[in-house]
Amino acid sequence: MARIFDNSSHSLVQSFSSVSIDSVKNIVIGDSCYTPPGICLQVVYYSSLVILPPNPNGYYITWKVCCKSFEGNFQGSNSQLFYAQFPNPLLSDKNQSPKFNPIGSSPYFCIGYEKELDFSCRDIDRDSLVYSLITPYKDFSITGSKPFVVSTYKSGFDMNNMLGPGSTCEIDSTTGIVLARPAQLGIFSISVICEEYRNGIKLGEVTRTFVASSLNCNFGIPVYFENIPSSYEFELGKKNCFDIVASSNYNSELYLNFSSTAFSNGAKVSLPDSNANGKYDFEWKNAFFENIETTNDVEVIQTSSTQFFANRGKVGARFCWELADCELREGDKYFVDAKAILDRCGMTDTANIQLTINFEGPESSIYTPNSFSPNGDGIEDVFRLKNEANECLEITQTKIYDLMGNLVFESDNPNFFWNGKNFLDKHVSSGIYMVVYEGNYGSRKEVNSFKLLLYR
C-alpha cells in the first residue's frame, strides 16, 4: 500500500493499493568486459493516477516492501522503504520530481576495483539537483509517516565505511556518480538521496536504494609491468638509459606515471626516437632469463614530463640520466617509481614498480703503481700518483709512512714525485711503506691509502 502524507504535519492525506504495471524489463547483466555468474535483475514500472488537493506544505509518499536480505553491510532481513517528497501541486510555475536514470548493465561490484555507479537523475524542469549518500530506510513510524527507521549497520560498517574495512564509497554531489571499491564478498546496499532546488529553495527529494553483489571478478591480469630488472648500475660521464614497459590483456586506455629522486639531478623520462612507422620500439633485459626482449610499433603519447598514455595494450617510456655531477659517487642510491593505470569498463586497475639506481662511480682509489726502485737506473726511479681513473677526485695532500708509523714524506702538490728520500734528504731503506692521500670528491672529503713496495 502506498500512502501520501502532509509534508509538515505528517498527517495521512490519501492511501491507495491499486496500481498498474506499465512495463517489465529484464536487465542484461555484464558486457564485453565481464559477465558475472548467478546475477539477474528485473525492473518493473508501476503507475497510478492520484488527485491531490492544493497544499502549500507539499506532500511525501511512502511504500514499503519486504524483504531484502543483507549479507554485507546491514544486519538481518530488512524491509525496503520507497519514498519521495514533492511540493504543492499548484506551484505557480509547476514542477515534476526528478527521476533516477535507468540502472545500467553492471549492477555489481568487483573486489579491489574502483567502479562508477550512476545514481544521477533527470529533471525536465532543469532544477538544481544535489546528491548525498544516506543510510537506507527500512520502515516508517507506527502511523506510516516520518520519522523513518533506518537499517542497522553490521559491526565494522558505518556511513563513512559503507562497504567495510579497506573499501571506499564516495558520491559526487553534483553528478550523482558513486565511486565504490569493496574489499570483501557480500551483498551490499547503497542509498542515495537526490534533492531538488529552484532559486535556492528546496522543492522535494527522491531516493534510490541499490543492492548489489560484490564478486571476485575474473578479469585475468588487467595490467602488469614487463619483467625488467629491479636495479641498474649507472656510470659517471655516460648517458645511462633503460626502458620501462607496462602491458595489459585488454586494448584499453593505459597511463604510465613516474616519480624519481633522480629527477632533481637531471634525470628525465621521455620517448625514444620514433621508428619508420612513426611509432616506438622498446627493449629491456628479462630479469629472470637475462635475455633481451623487445616490443615494437607501440603507439604512445607523452602527456607531461612524467606521464605517458596509450589507448591499447602497451605503454612505454625511456628513463635516461647523463651523470656528470661529482657530488654523486659510488654508494649513492636513487629510486624510480612507476605506476601503470588501466581505465577499463568504468573500473581502474593499477600496477606499481620501484627500481633502484646504484651509482657506479670510479674506484675510490686512483690508479697508482704499487712499487718503484729509486736506484738511479732510469727505470721507475720515482713514485707519483696517477689520477687518471677518477676525474672527480682532486688530491690535496699525500703522506708516506714507514711500517713503524714514521712520516718520511708529505706533499700538498698533486703532481709531486718521491725519489725515496726522507726529510733529511737521505735514502730510506727498502721495504713496505704506506701511502695516504686526501682529496675533495665534489664537496665531500676522500681519504684513501695503499701499500707501496720500495726496492733497490
pLDDT of residue 360: 62
Q: What is the pLDDT of residues 127-174, one digit of tens each?
A: 999 999 999 998 898 888 999 999 899 998 999 889 888 889 999 999
d(CA 297, CA 280): 5
What CATH code would you report for 223-360?
A: 2.60.40
Q: Do 2-215 and 371-454 share a fold?
A: yes
Specify the fold of 2-215: Immunoglobulin-like (2.60.40)
Q: What is the DSSP secondary-structure string of 102-152?
A: PP-S--EEETT-EEEEE--EE-TT--EEEEEEEPPEEE--TTS-SSPEEPP
Domain limits, the chain: 2-215, 223-360, 371-454
pLDDT score at 329: 59
pLDDT above 80 (res 441): no
pLDDT recorded at residue 344: 72
Q: State yes or no: pLDDT of 221 exceeds 70.
A: no
Contacts (Cβ under 8 Å, ≥6 apart) of 242: 228, 229, 232, 284, 318, 319
Amino acid 146 reads K
Model pLDDT, residue 31: 65
CA distance linking residue 19 with residue 49, whole number of Å: 8
| Lowest model confidence (mean pLDDT) among 266-270, 322-326, 328-332 | 328-332
371-454: CATH architecture: Sandwich (2.60)
Tens of pLDDT, residues 61-77: 999 887 765 567 888 76
The answer for residues whose C-beta is within 8 angstroms of residue 51's C-beta and 6 or more apart is: none
Considering only residues 190 and 35, tell me which one the structure prediction assigns the higher pLDDT.
190
